[in-house]
Amino acid sequence: MSTDSSPETEIDISKKEILISSSEINQRVAQLGKEISADYQGRELHLVGVLNGAFIFLADLVRQINIPCQICFLQASSYKDQKVSSGEVTLMHNLDLRGKDVLVVEDIFDTGLTLKYVMEDLLRQKPNSIEACSLLNKKIPNKAEVTVKYIGFDIEDRFVVGYGLDFAERYREVPHIACLD
């Protein structure tokens, strides 16, 4: 974990624009949970959260899903304390998803590089099915070719934090989505 306390990371988050309030998030997460439960009725769902950013979203989402599920995580990183992707994705996990119905849960679908990498990696394990769910989808051109079946909110190309999303490991605990730029 970074312990950086340089002026760039010392931001008064209460003064930053709230893009999506916590009540809007709760409502949308409840809708997604319903939709996912209906789509996977009669099956056991394996939710794979992409750490670190998806930990709060997954925790809330799973409590809105009313079918049997198993929950696991993998670690993906590409930003390394920056606001712009390094373009390199590293993954860490010891999952075994052969024959399972898998839903990858991501915080934000930006360039899509991370999700594409994760999906390709997990597909090699030959799951029965694999889909993706992202709380946020940034509307930017030239996204990686990956289908995200469940999307919470489409947002403009701005750097956001809160509800699990960080800047240099800060602000994950903020209950809403705020803009840093």
Nearer to ligand 5GP, 43 or 143 (CB): 143
Q: Give the separation between CA 51 and CA 75, rounded to whole angstroms.
A: 5
3-class secondary-structure state, position 94: coil
Nearer to ligand 5GP, 53 or 127 (CB): 53
In contact, 53 and 108? CB cutoff 8 Å: yes
Cβ count within 10 A of residue 54 = 27
Q: Within 117-156, which residues bind ligand 5GP (CB under 6 A)? A: none
106 forms part of the interface with ligand 5GP (CB under 6 A): yes
167 forms part of the interface with ligand 5GP (CB under 6 A): yes
Q: Which two tokens stand for residue 118?
A: 């994760």
101 forms part of the interface with ligand 5GP (CB under 6 A): no
Active site annotation includes 110: yes
Q: Which two tokens stand for residue 30?
A: 């409840």
Binding site for ligand 5GP (CB under 6 A): 53, 78-79, 85, 106-115, 159-161, 165-167
